[in-house]
Chains A and B, each alone.
Chain A
Amino acid sequence: MPSSSQTLNGSEIFFECLRRENVEYIFGYPGGSLLKVYETLYDVKDIQHILVRHEQGATHMAEGYARATGKPGIVLVTSGPGATNTVTGIANAYMDSSPMVVFTGQVPSTLIGNDAFQEADIVGITRSITKHNFLVKDVKELAITIRKAFFLATNGRPGPVLIDMPKDVLNASCDFHWPDTVEIRGFKPTVKCHINQVEKAAYKIAKAKRPLLYVGGGVISSNASEELRAFAIKQNIPVTMTLQGLGAFPGNHPLSMGMLGMHGTYWSNQAVNNCDVLIAVGARFDDRVTGKIETFAPQAYKIHNDIDPTNVDKNIKVELPIVGDAKHFLAALLEAMPKKVENLEPWLSEIQTWREKCPLTYTNEEGKLKTEFVIDEVSKQTAGNAVVVTDVGQHQMWTSQYYTFTNPRSIITSGGLGTMGFGLPAAIGAAFGVKDRPVVLFCGDGGFMMNIQELVTAVHYKIPIKIFLINNSFLGMVRQWQELFHKEKYSFTDLGDSNPDFVKVAEAFGCKALIAENTDTAQQAIKKALAYNEGPVLVDFRVEKKDMVFPMVPAGGSISDMLLARLNPKTMV
């Protein structure tokens, strides 16, 4: 490594900084404003550049990598269209709090504002979807800006940070100086919780008769699963998880309640409805979780721990806000409660009754293939050990219900933004980060087409992801809403006539492909796919076309409005 005070140009400084931030991979795509960077990159051997086929793909890959590893994902794209193509991926990472640093090339600083060729005001465009962003106007500012960007992306509530680098800045030279420390006056996240507040929480929980832990992605991102496990098991408190929180607590433990909310389990939602103390950790009372806010956990004393103060009292007023890192909170809470909460058996058995009343089940029918079966089977064959990536739609919700997540960082899915097209690139990114566990993707036939170009990337880099295409010939989730709430007007959701032959498409990309149309062939195909590690493999599961995901709490509804199964549409008013 060059020592400080060596003269380097902007591009060299860029790589020098990435080295010091221990970057392994850059997901990128070249262009005019980045020619100097790619010139330098030609001789860089210790950082691997992954060539994507669309800049949106790069952002989702970076996020997949980040979520699988906990390290920030790095994106490098050119100015103008390259930069604007990253917008969806940045917004996605912002909504789901994933650490990411996006580097965009920019036209020379002397031309900024002149509508120069391939100029876009990407700093302006991404202001509301980044944690922070920077335009570097002087090469002397480049190193410190990169240092700050990594610090911001990974500290406090993680999120995406963007750095815009004009072409002349990348060409100019200066003495390279890597700052040892970084100080940002306006960014001082509260990591340690106020101990008085923790003690107050402990006091309330100790007296609870029906306590419930409601945990979200914050527990995963702060690596607090062990603390959660220790606390919940010691206190015998059941745990319900958000979509992003799945895996924070082992799904096969008797205290695990699975997911809550719109497509959550019946017993989770009943437990929320009946609990007397709700302990929310690293979760943000999203509307997909709460439904109608006035009727959410109506009897509960609500304790809310979150690293981001803006999440507290945002959607719901809580009795006890505790700002701080989830790991610190749970460890402090464990310590503050040396004695076990007494007499929780009646509560746990009540939950058991709900569990038995409306379990998650499906019935296989002769000659038909149900998505639930496919996911259940993958869960069994991988023993819950896979990193599971999903796209957005019905298959995503079924994954949350039928895959048993036993470890943190095991589900990578677009929750906040709900971005179709996220799955394939995110799975590729995850597979770059995690090499000792299989990476499995459940993807709809609609969403698969949205970033299908990245199949080339997977093939080229021989990424052994298992693409389980849940092919129902419909934009299934939209179709479900049309059936339930829009008079069965199946407006533009039937893809049956227009979908391509996915096996042929995959093969044309150089990807191994299989087809499965019934339970037997599905079981075999899953087995084959899991055993194949030379590169990506796709299985086209021809599943039931018109199945719906239940239970379902209609948007804005209360737990009492929960739909448990398909009603005969004819009898529905």
Chain B
Amino acid sequence: MKHIISVLVENKFGTLNRVANMFSARGFNLASISIGETEDPEFSRMTIVTNGDDHIISQVVKQLNRLVDTIKVTDLTRQPHVERELLLMTMKLSKTQQHEIFELINVFKGKVVDIKQKSITIEVIGSPDKINTTIDIFKPYGIKELARSGAVAIHRGE
């Protein structure tokens, strides 16, 4: 089962490597990992998406906790949380399909961030599921290049 784990870590050189290294050394699945500074520059927050049964996930959480640079590990999967991912995608732009593409961008609440003679770059924000669907739908129009941020997630406020 897919799990989304939020990890508060020391904002130090090498921390990302320690976490990623632990996943590979112990053979845990690492679907995505994203990291950024928090409101306090001493800390960063990582969002990790991983797969595994309860036994594996409990080991993942414990092994994350064991790292000295991790401060707090929370498995958000079964807790109220918001999860978002950013997709940046450049597509071919032809006169004939232009209209359809713009329609779809609207449907997915995307934004055009750049437009050239023969290509268009858009951004879409949403749950990783929505991003998957977006990619599927746009594929037939000719995706030239895409980049995904990996999921970031946070507890819903009280």
Contact = CB atoms under 8 A, between A and B. Distances in A.
B69 interface: yes
B97 interface: no
Interface residues of A, number: 19
Given A132-B68, A309-B62, A310-B63, A186 B10 contact: yes
B63 A127 contact: no
A127 B18 contact: yes
Contacts of A335: none
B74 to A, nearest CB: 14
A131 B68 contact: yes
A141 to B, nearest CB: 12
A446 B63 CA distance: 36
B17 A124 contact: yes
A308 B18 CA distance: 19
A314 to B, nearest CB: 6
Contacts of A135: 13-14
A218 to B, nearest CB: 16
Contacts, number: 40
A186 B59 contact: no
A131 B68 CA distance: 8
A128 B62 contact: no
Given A127-B18, A308-B66, A313 B58 contact: yes
Contact of A309 (B10, B17, B65): B65
Contact of A186 (B22, B55, B71): B71
A317 B22 CA distance: 22
Contacts of B14: 123, 127, 135
B47 interface: no
A362 interface: no
A60 B63 CA distance: 27
Interface in B61-82: 62-63, 65-71
A186 B69 contact: yes
B21 interface: yes
Contacts of B21: 127-128
Most chain B CB neighbours (cut-off 10 Å) among A152, A310, A312, A317: A310
A313 B55 contact: yes
A187 B66 CA distance: 8
A185 interface: yes
Nearest to B63: A310
Interface string A223-266: 00000000000000000000000000000000000000000000
A310 B55 contact: no
B25 interface: yes
B9 to A, nearest CB: 8
B21 to A, nearest CB: 5
Contacts of A187: 68
Contact of B22 (A128, A131, A185, A312): A128
17 contacts: A127-B18, A128-B22, A152-B68, A184-B68, A186-B68, A186-B69, A308-B66, A309-B62, A309-B66, A310-B62, A310-B63, A310-B66, A312-B62, A313-B58, A313-B59, A314-B59, A317-B55
Given A185-B10, A186-B69, A186-B71, 6 more contacts: A127-B14, A127-B21, A186-B67, A186-B70, A309-B65, A317-B55
Going nearest first, the 6 A-B pairs with the smallest beta carbon separation are A132-B68, A310-B62, A128-B25, A309-B62, A186-B68, A186-B71
